[in-house]
């Protein structure tokens, strides 16, 4: 394996981040924006206020597909982190369990139809799924698009659980 | 006006420069007259003509072993193809060889030995629309769609307040120009092999990726601690060194015409 080839990473674990925590950390105006949203796009891994390039395209796609989605940032504070590798940095999504039944179709059609991703392309995404009880569980994936099935299987299992 | 444009000699025709300049003038007049369709048609014709010129030049640069310069041209072709394809009819793309160029650019790029690139990571404060200058925010957009043409102008998003964060080394870059190799240390013989046969830019050819077995004796120069020629990902000594034959990746070039005096199979070790 070349030193430039990353190893795949797939992890499902209990999370501490909750909707209440997101609201607590948000400004008053942001609290209003994210209130009762089914899906919230969070800042990129390891940052507090930078979103992956293309996050607004993702937001538009979600809203065009009847998902009540928002970005965890005010218009004034929004910045993008532009990583120029060809990998797809999809980002971190806080997802209400209400949309679990449509989530797999939504993600796969966005990746294959909209982004025209090939099976060999690298992709990074994290889903933080909010159960009805308010507790959360995360699905993290870094690897090739062709192995995204692991994420879809995990979503299905959570759908059966919640 | 009609003129032939398939060889390097044809690209020197002074009428081409005149046509490009006329297309620009007609486009400007169409914009003033509010004729968006005419302006967009001028954009398409101009882009397709420029694309053909760059593609022919790229191919001849490869023939002259100016590999890096050709690589930059191929990337320019790739980007132009992407936008022309998005904004043109299937008929237009067929007539102007856009599908052909797009396919062959990808083929040629895949034959290069480049595999390490630099990649800048940066924070962008905001983007503005290249058509109307609207400041794009999460809850504030204009009606223009990135990558589409409006009045003969391509809509791009312009980045502002850029802060460079890091430079990474990547194997799959978004911008292919950022090669970090020294060409003198690389093996371009696959391209050389192809160019020995290819005569014209628009000659039909393709590449088929397969494997081929060679007797172990032919690998006597491969060190046991080198990567295995089979590309299985482990060292030769732990992989194929004790086999009677080693199966290695192989490229077959196919052409529509008969090739007299076919060169022999090129063995890379």
Q: What are the sequence ranges of the domains in chain A?
A: 9-76+88-161
Contact B2, B195 (CB under 8 A): no
The whole-chain average pLDDT of chain B stands at: 93
**Average pLDDT, stretch B27-36?**
97
CB distance B123–A83 less than 8 Å?
no
Contact A38, A95 (CB under 8 A): yes
**Average pLDDT, stretch A69-75?**
95
Q: What is the pLDDT at residue B17?
A: 94
Q: What is the pLDDT at residue B8?
A: 85
Q: What is the pLDDT at residue B2?
A: 75
Model's pTM, two decimal places? Answer: 0.87
Q: What is the pLDDT at residue B242?
A: 92
Q: Say if A4 is an interface residue toward chain B (CB within 8 Å).
A: yes
The larger pLDDT score, comparing residue A45 to residue A38, is at: A38
CB distance B171–A73 less than 8 Å?
no
Q: What is the pLDDT at residue A6?
A: 64
Q: Say if B174 is an interface residue toward chain A (CB within 8 Å).
A: yes
Q: In whole angstroms, give the CA distance from residue B247 to residue B235.
A: 15
Closest CA to A128 of A158, A162, A92: A92
CB distance B173–A84 less than 8 Å?
yes
Contact A39, A68 (CB under 8 A): yes
Q: What is the pLDDT at residue B261?
A: 77
pLDDT in tens, B75-120: 999 999 999 999 999 999 999 999 999 999 999 999 999 999 998 8
Mean pLDDT check: name the lowest of A8-12, B64-68, B86-90. A8-12
Q: What is the pLDDT at residue B257?
A: 87
Locate tokens 């890091």: which residue? B166
Q: What is the pLDDT at residue A116?
A: 87
Q: Say if A119 is an interface residue toward chain B (CB within 8 Å).
A: no
CA dihedral B2→B7→B8→B13, nearest 10 degrees, is -20
CB distance B171–A5 less than 8 Å?
yes
Chain A CB contacts of B139 below 8 Å: 33, 75
CB distance B159–A82 less than 8 Å?
yes
CA distance B119 to chain A (A): 5
Q: What is the pLDDT at residue A1?
A: 43
CB distance A80–B127 less than 8 Å?
yes
Q: What share of chain A is helix, strand, coil (3-state, %, to 5)?
A: 35, 30, 35
Using 50, 70 and 90 to split pLDDT, how confident is the model at A12? very high
Q: Say if A152 is an interface residue toward chain B (CB within 8 Å).
A: no
Q: What is the pLDDT at residue A4?
A: 52
**Of A17-21, B84-88, B250-254, highest mean pLDDT:** B84-88
Q: Say if B143 is an interface residue toward chain A (CB within 8 Å).
A: no
**Average pLDDT, stretch A5-23?**
88
DSSP, collapsed to helix, strand or coil, labels residue B121 as strand
Chain A CB contacts of B141 below 8 Å: 56, 60
Across the A/B interface, how many CB contacts are shorter than 8 Å? 70
pLDDT in tens, B194-212: 999 998 899 999 999 999 9
**Average pLDDT, stretch B111-133?**
94
Contact A103, A82 (CB under 8 A): no
CB distance B126–A71 less than 8 Å?
no
Q: Say if A48 is an interface residue toward chain B (CB within 8 Å).
A: no
Q: What is the pLDDT at residue B195?
A: 93
**Average pLDDT, stretch A65-92?**
89
Closest CA to B180 of B188, B171, B189: B171
User: What interhelical angle do B36-63 and B67-86 show, nearest 10?
Assistant: 160
Using 50, 70 and 90 to split pLDDT, how confident is the model at A162? low
**Average pLDDT, stretch B52-61?**
96
Q: In whole angstroms, give the CA distance from residue B149 to residue B156.
A: 9
CA distance A80 to chain B (A): 5
**Average pLDDT, stretch A15-30?**
92
Contact A124, A142 (CB under 8 A): yes
Mean pLDDT check: name the lowest of A43-47, B30-34, B143-147, B224-228. A43-47
CB distance A2–B171 less than 8 Å?
yes
Q: In whole angstroms, give the CA distance from residue B134 to residue B123.
A: 19
Q: What is the pLDDT at residue B205?
A: 94
CA distance A68 to chain B (A): 13
State the Rg of chain B over Cα: 23
Shortest CA distance from A55: residue in chain B = B138
Chain A CB contacts of B138 below 8 Å: 56, 59, 70-71, 73, 75, 78
pLDDT in tens, B148-187: 999 999 999 999 999 998 898 888 888 899 999 999 999 9
Chain B CB contacts of A4 below 8 Å: 115-116, 169-171
Q: In whole angstroms, give the CA distance from residue A120 to residue B91.
A: 31
Q: What is the pLDDT at residue B66?
A: 97
Q: In whole angstroms, give the CA distance from residue A84 to residue B210.
A: 31
> What six digits make up the tokens of A86?
């060809």
**Average pLDDT, stretch B233-241?**
92
Bridge partners for A41 per DSSP: A71, A93
Chain A CB contacts of B233 below 8 Å: 1
Instruction: Nearest by CB to A79, from B123, B146, B171: name it.
Output: B123
Chain B CB contacts of A78 below 8 Å: 126, 137-138
pLDDT in tens, A100-155: 999 999 999 999 998 888 888 889 999 999 998 999 999 999 999 999 999 999 99
CB distance A86–B172 less than 8 Å?
yes
Locate tokens 């394809």: which residue? B85
């Amino acid at each position: 394996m070349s030193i430039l080839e990353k190893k795949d990473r797939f992890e499902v674990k209990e999370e501490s981040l909750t909707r209440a925590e997101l609201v607590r950390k948000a400004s008053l105006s942001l609290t209003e924006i994210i209130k009762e949203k089914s899906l919230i796009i969070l800042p990129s891994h390891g940052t507090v206020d930078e979103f992956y390039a293309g996050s607004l395209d993702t937001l538009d796609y979600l809203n065009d597909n009847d998902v009540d989605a928002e970005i965890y940032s005010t218009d004034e504070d929004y910045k993008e982190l532009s990583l120029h590798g060809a990998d797809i940095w999809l980002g971190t999504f806080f997802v209400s369990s209400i949309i679990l039944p449509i989530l797999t179709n939504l993600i796969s059609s966005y990746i294959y139809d909209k982004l025209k991703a090939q099976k060999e392309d690298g992709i990074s995404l994290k889903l933080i799924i909010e159960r009805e009880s308010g507790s959360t569980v995360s699905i993290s994936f870094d690897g090739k698009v062709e192995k995204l099935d692991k994420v879809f299987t995990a979503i299905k299992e959570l759908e059966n659980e919640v | 006006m009609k003129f032939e444009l398939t060889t390097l000699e044809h690209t020197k025709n002074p009428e081409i420069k005149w046509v490009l300049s006329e297309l620009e003038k007609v486009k400007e007049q169409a914009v003033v007259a509010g004729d968006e369709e005419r302006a967009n048609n001028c954009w398409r014709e101009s882009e397709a003509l420029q694309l053909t010129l760059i593609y022919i030049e790229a191919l001849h640069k490869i023939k002259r072993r100016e590999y890096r310069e050709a690589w930059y041209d191929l990337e320019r072709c790739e980007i132009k193809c992407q936008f022309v394809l998005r904004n043109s009819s299937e008929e237009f793309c067929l007539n102007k060889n856009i599908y052909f160029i797009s396919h062959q650019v990808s083929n040629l790029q895949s034959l290069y030995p480049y595999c390490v690139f630099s990649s800048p990571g940066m924070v962008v404060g905001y983007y503005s629309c290249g058509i109307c200058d609207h400041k794009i925010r999460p809850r504030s957009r204009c009606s223009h769609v990135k990558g589409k043409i409006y009045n003969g102008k391509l809509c791009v998003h312009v980045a502002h307040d850029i802060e460079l964060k890091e430079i990474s080394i990547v194997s799959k870059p978004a911008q292919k120009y950022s090669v970090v190799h020294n060409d003198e240390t690389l093996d371009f013989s696959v391209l050389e092999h192809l160019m020995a046969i290819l005569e014209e830019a628009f000659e039909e050819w393709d590449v088929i990726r397969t494997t081929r077995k060679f007797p172990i004796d032919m690998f006597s120069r491969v060190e046991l601690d080198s990567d295995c020629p089979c590309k299985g990902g482990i060292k030769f000594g732990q992989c194929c060194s004790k086999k009677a034959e080693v199966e290695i990746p192989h490229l077959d070039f196919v052409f529509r015409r008969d090739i007299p005096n076919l060169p022999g199979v090129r063995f890379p070790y």
